[in-house]
Amino acid sequence: MSFPDPAAAEAAFYEAFSTLDLTQMRTVWLDSERASCIHPGAGLLQGIDTIMASWAAMFDNSQIPQVEHRLIQVSRDTNLTVHTVAENVSTDSGRRSALILATNVYIRIDDRWHMLAHHASLPLINQEQDQEQQPPPLH
């Protein structure tokens, strides 16, 4: 599958995630040892085969999740685009959910966009609560 822009690759990534479609997930990723992935609370995975094995393990015997994502920030260049996103992943008919912050990196090769890196993590603090506890700036 060919993605004409990073937005199309990202839409396919989240569609594959929300339908547990390993075949579609692989089409999104750059088929390279340069690809990298960090799942929440896990270590660095490098190379397409290792990354796909991790998605296969997550998808195996899993319930179909509800995955929503919201683009927070975009940084782009001619051949590289970085998306910062907020993911809301729910399972068990919405009884269990997690807010996940992620960075998705897309690379353009031969006018086709691919995911080069996905780094997802759980927020450690509530920013609103943290801001309330901080003293006001002195200048």
8 Å CB contact between 102 and 120: yes
DSSP assignment letter at 92:
G
The reply to whether 132 falls in a domain is no
40 lies in some domain: yes
Residue 67 belongs to some domain of the structure? yes
Does the predicted TM-score (pTM) go above 0.75? yes
Low-confidence ranges of the chain (pLDDT < 70): 94, 124-139
Answer yes or no: is 130 within a domain: no
Radius of gyration of the chain (CA): 16
Q: Is the dihedral of CA 93, 96, 99, 102 positive or negative?
A: negative
CATH number for 33: 3.10.450.50
- The closest alpha carbon to 79, from 39, 114, 127, belongs to 114
At 2 the pLDDT is 87
| Total number of domains constituting the chain | 1
pLDDT, residue 137, reads: 46
Q: What is the identity of the amino acid at 86? A: A
Question: So what's the pLDDT on residue 40?
Answer: 92
Phi-psi region of 67 (alpha: psi -120 to 50; beta: other; left: phi over 0): beta
| CB distance 97 to 122 below 8 Å | no
Residue 96 lies in a domain: yes
The domain of 120 spans 6-125
pLDDT digits (tens, 9 = 90+) for 99-125: 999 999 999 999 999 999 999 998 765
Q: Is residue 100 in some structural domain?
A: yes
Is 137 among the domain residues? Answer: no
pLDDT at residue 128, rounded to an integer: 53
CA neighbor of 108 nearest in space, from 78, 79, 82, 83: 79
Q: Answer yes or no: is 18 within a domain.
A: yes
